[in-house]
Homo-oligomer: A and B are copies of this chain.
Amino acid sequence: MLKTPTIVLNVKTYTEATGNKALDIAMLMDEISKETGASMAIAVQATDISLCANKVSIPVWAEHIDPIKPGSHTGWTLAEAVKNAGAVGTLINHSEHRLKLADVDICITRAKELDLDHIICSNNVATSKAIAAFSPNFIAVEPPELIGGDISVTTADPDIVSGSVEAVKNVDKKVKVLCGAGVKNGKDVSKAIELGADGVLLASGIVKAKDKELVIRDLAAGL
């Protein structure tokens, strides 16, 4: 399981992080992680998992798995396939890829069966608490209205972070909690940890940055 505190990057389907550009970011994070000892992971598109996993030491994750077993599921994302390509973890139920409640359960079960590390995304304290009932490795709370924005969740809505940590720990102490949305710098990271989180999940803060190295180093310094 991902060492905490940690920084997890989700590169989504941004042009700036497709194919070799995803690899460039992964290599940069790998280098900085080695140098600083900061725990970092990168979730990339299914097409780019093997490309990245073959070249870097930091954990490479999938952005999604579907609630399926091997079989007749044309075009869906199979847990075995992402693992086989080199992923060691996966995001589940991201706000851009929401799942039905029963399917969140199935995806978590599938991840555990295959020993894939996993972060389940939630949107508020109540859904964080609900997800805790499944005892996943990680829950990442991200208010959808702040995703991609300029203000960090840790500033805009600190209570959702501390409230999720408290609600989740009350259900299952072993579940770790990340927070995300608007996270952009080391101060946001240290504030997240101060609020009780075990790290951050972010995307555009790194992917859309002009100087990615500068941003990653700053984030790492916040751990």
A residues with a Cβ closer than 8 A to B are 10, 12-15, 18-19, 45-51, 62-64, 68, 70-78, 80-82, 84-85, 91, 93-105, 122-124, 126-127, 129-134, 147-148, 167, 171, 203-204
Contact = CB atoms under 8 A, between A and B. Distances in A.
* Copies of this chain in its oligomeric complex: 4
Nearest to A170: B171
A49 B45 CA distance: 12
A80 B124 CA distance: 24
A171 B134 CA distance: 13
B124 A133 contact: no
A70 B16 CA distance: 9
10 contacts: A18-B80, A19-B84, A47-B47, A64-B76, A73-B96, A75-B77, A93-B101, A95-B102, A101-B122, A101-B130
A8 B91 CA distance: 32
